[in-house]
Amino acid sequence: MPEVLVSTATSQPLLQLEGLTRRFKGRTAVDGLSLSVRPGEILGLLGPNGAGKSTTFQVLAGLLSPDAGLVRFEGRELSLSDPSLRRQMGIIFQRGSLDDLLTARENLMLGARLYGLGGERARERVEAMLALIGLADRGDERVGTWSGGMRRRLELARALVHQPRVLLMDEPTQGLDEGAFRTFWAHLKRLRDSEGLTVLLTTHRADEADVCDRLAVLDAGRLVACDTPQALASRMGGDILSVDASEPEALAAELRERLGLDAKVVEGRVQVEAPQGHALVPRLVEAFPAGRLNSVALRRPTLADVFLQLTGRALGADVPTAEPAPRRRR
Ligand SMILES: Nc1ncnc2c1ncn2[C@@H]1O[C@H](COP(=O)(O)OP(=O)(O)OP(=O)(O)O)[C@@H](O)[C@H]1O
């Protein structure tokens, strides 16, 4: 069994997944996944393509049945197919699902009706949600011409119009630029506070992982760590040296052999983790003649580095479709 690093801080969970397993034609997409979501937190499921995030999302959203596993909501054991679970949830899918021919207000009203909300209560919630996402003055516009960021915010409002306890999102900011990403998250955090929400989302963006309260790191369908982004980053003691070289593989091999460093090639650059990174820079420059190294950069570890250390795989890489790669023991 791989070592699973889980924070020991306690708080009564709102939602608990236990032993979730889902296979596709003999291939295990999610493998005995257990995790707890605390009330009011934003928990991110982090992992590269193929890690099992969307499968987990789809089981929780009621779109896929699991091969094994159960869920507890406020301690009450439920089958994952129990409709009462879905009534507690607002769901945002990876692909947008607004009706382009309807106005923003009409899209929200439709969402309210689908959850059985009508009359004055529905109208109140629609107006409140439009205001909360900063689009109160755009409510009568058809959404077909809206930017990706505005559409995503409206999806957020629609998912919350029936006042769910849990918001479930599958890669909610995929394709959004930096500005739209920041705006979406500012609204999400405000809504979390004003609506008393608990949020579970999937992501493979390191910048998105950074703004979650806690992260469940998935690799090849298994949980490999669960903690705050800060605690995960602090597990990497040192600095990261990133070297641009014309022959990165050959340089990494030499750094391992000649200097005894744990050098690897990540996205075409040679990367070394070192406790005193600044002291290593002159050693590298002296050890290799001009021409072998184009540039050397020193930085603090990011969540992408933590992910690489935990799994031996880059966050941007796909999980191989054959057997899962052997996991590195720490
Ligand atoms: N409907 C399906 N049929 C067959 N295999 C599937 C199906 N859905 C997912 N898989 C496989 O299950 C594994 C996990 O996929 P999943 O989509 O859950 O990963 P992910 O982490 O969400 O990746 P992505 O970010 O690309 O969505 C992958 O190997 C994938 O090919």
- DSSP assignment string, 113-129: HHTT--HHHHHHHHHHH
315 CB within 6 A, ligand 1: no
| Structure token digits, residue 257 | 């052999």
Distance 208 CA to ligand 1 centre (A): 20
CA 94 to ligand 1: nearest atom:
27
Q: Helix, strand or coil for residue 329?
A: coil
8 Å CB contact between 131 and 162: no
Q: Is 311 exposed, middle or buried (0-12, 13-18, 19+ CB in 10 A)?
A: buried
Which residue's alpha carbon is at the smallest distance from atom 5 of ligand 1?
24
88 CB within 6 A, ligand 1: no
209 phi/psi in degrees, rounded to 5: -60, -40
213 phi/psi in degrees, rounded to 5: -75, -45
| The pLDDT value given to residue 287 | 83
pLDDT, one tens digit for every residue, the chain (330 residues): 444 544 444 568 999 999 999 999 989 999 999 999 999 999 999 988 889 999 999 999 989 999 999 999 999 998 888 888 888 999 999 888 899 999 999 999 999 999 888 899 999 999 999 999 999 999 999 999 999 999 999 999 999 999 999 999 999 998 899 999 999 999 999 999 988 899 999 998 888 999 999 999 999 999 999 999 988 988 777 888 999 998 999 999 999 998 888 888 988 899 888 888 888 888 888 888 777 888 888 888 888 888 888 887 777 665 555 444 344 333
- CA 69/CA 83 separation, integer angstroms: 16
The model carries a pTM of 0.83
22 CB within 6 A, ligand 1: no
Sequence-distant (≥ 6) Cβ neighbours of residue 171 within 8 angstroms: 53, 54, 94, 201, 202, 203, 204
CA 25 to ligand 1: nearest atom:
4
Backbone angle region of 83, left / alpha / beta, with phi > 0 → left and psi within -120 to 50 → alpha: alpha
Q: Is 240 exposed, middle or buried (0-12, 13-18, 19+ CB in 10 A)?
A: buried
Mutate to test the pocket of ligand 1, among 54, 169, 201 (most ligand atoms within 8 A of CB): 54
| Structure token digits, residue 240 | 């990261």
Which residue's alpha carbon is at the smallest distance from atom 3 of ligand 1?
24
Sequence-distant (≥ 6) Cβ neighbours of residue 110 within 8 angstroms: 99, 102, 158
24 CB within 6 A, ligand 1: yes
53 CB within 6 A, ligand 1: yes
Which residue's alpha carbon is at the smallest distance from atom 17 of ligand 1?
54
Q: Is this complex scored with an ipTM above 0.90?
A: yes
Distance 52 CA to ligand 1 centre (A): 6
51 CB within 6 A, ligand 1: yes
320 CB within 6 A, ligand 1: no
Q: Kindly list the distances between the CA atom of residue 176 and the CA atoms of 30, 53, 138, 139, 150, in Å, as whole numbers in the listed order.
A: 27, 19, 20, 22, 10
Domains of the chain by range and CATH?
Answer: 5-233 (3.40.50.300), 237-300 (3.30.70)
